[in-house]
Copies of this chain bind each other. A is one copy, B any other.
Amino acid sequence: MQFSDFGQHFTRESAILQLMDDLGKALAQEGVNMLGGGNPARIPAVNALFAEVLRDIANGDDCAAAVENIGNYSEPQGDRAFLNTVAAFLRRHYGWSVSAENLALTNGSQNAFFYLFNLFGGAFTDNQGNTVQKSVLLPLAPEYVGYADVQVGGSRFVSVPPQIENVQYGGRDGFFKYRIDFDALEKLPQWAAGEIGAVCCSRPTNPSGNVLTDAEMARLDALARRHGVPLIIDNAYGMPFPNIIHRDAELVWHDNIILCFSLSKVGLPGVRCGIVLARPEVIRAITALNAVVNLAPTRFGAAVAAPLLQDDRLKTLADNVIRPFYRRQADLAVSLLQKEMADLPVRIHLPEGAIFLWLWFEGLPAGSDELYRRLKARGTLVIPSEPFFVGIDTAQFCHARECVRISIAQDQAVLARGIAAIAAEARALYGTG
Taking beta carbons and an 8 Å cutoff, which residues of A are in contact with B? 1-8, 10-12, 14, 16-17, 20-21, 23-25, 27-28, 37-40, 42, 46-47, 50-51, 54-55, 57-59, 63-64, 66-67, 69-77, 80, 107-111, 114, 118-125, 131, 134, 146, 149-150, 152-153, 197, 228-230, 256, 264, 267-272, 279, 281-282, 284-285, 287-289, 291-301, 304
14 A-B residue pairings within 8 Å (CB atoms): A1-B120, A3-B120, A6-B122, A6-B123, A14-B291, A20-B76, A21-B291, A46-B71, A51-B64, A59-B59, A70-B269, A108-B296, A150-B293, A270-B300
Chain B residues, Cβ within 8 Å of A8: 125
* New A-B contacts (18) at CB < 8 Å, excluding given A27-B72, A107-B298: A1-B228, A1-B229, A2-B197, A3-B120, A7-B120, A10-B292, A11-B285, A16-B292, A17-B291, A24-B76, A51-B66, A57-B58, A72-B269, A72-B270, A108-B296, A111-B294, A114-B293, A300-B300
State the number of copies, please.
Answer: 2
Instruction: Give the distance in Å from the alpha carbon of A111 to the alpha carbon of B118 in the complex.
Output: 17
Chain B min CB distance to A353 (Å): 20
- B57 near A272 with CB under 8 A, answer no
Chain B residues, Cβ within 8 Å of A71: 40, 42, 46-47, 50, 267-270
Instruction: Give the distance in Å from the alpha carbon of A51 to the alpha carbon of B66 in the complex.
Output: 8
- A63 near B51 with CB under 8 A, answer yes
> Which B residue's beta carbon lies closest to that of A53?
B58
- B119 near A292 with CB under 8 A, answer no
- B269 near A73 with CB under 8 A, answer yes
Chain B min CB distance to A329 (Å): 17
- B58 near A121 with CB under 8 A, answer no
- A119 near B7 with CB under 8 A, answer yes
Given A58-B57, A58-B59, residue A124 in contact with residue B4 (CB < 8 A): yes
- A59 near B63 with CB under 8 A, answer no
- A4 near B39 with CB under 8 A, answer no
Chain B residues, Cβ within 8 Å of A108: 294-296
- A272 near B297 with CB under 8 A, answer yes
Instruction: Give the distance in Å from the alpha carbon of A111 to the alpha carbon of B291 in the complex.
Output: 9
- Most B CB within 10 A of own CB, among A12, A73, A109, A285: A73
- A5 near B47 with CB under 8 A, answer no
Instruction: Give the distance in Å from the alpha carbon of A297 to the alpha carbon of B23 in the complex.
Output: 14
Given A76-B21, A270-B300, residue A294 in contact with residue B3 (CB < 8 A): no
Instruction: Give the distance in Å from the alpha carbon of A54 to the alpha carbon of B53 in the complex.
Output: 12
Chain B min CB distance to A382 (Å): 18
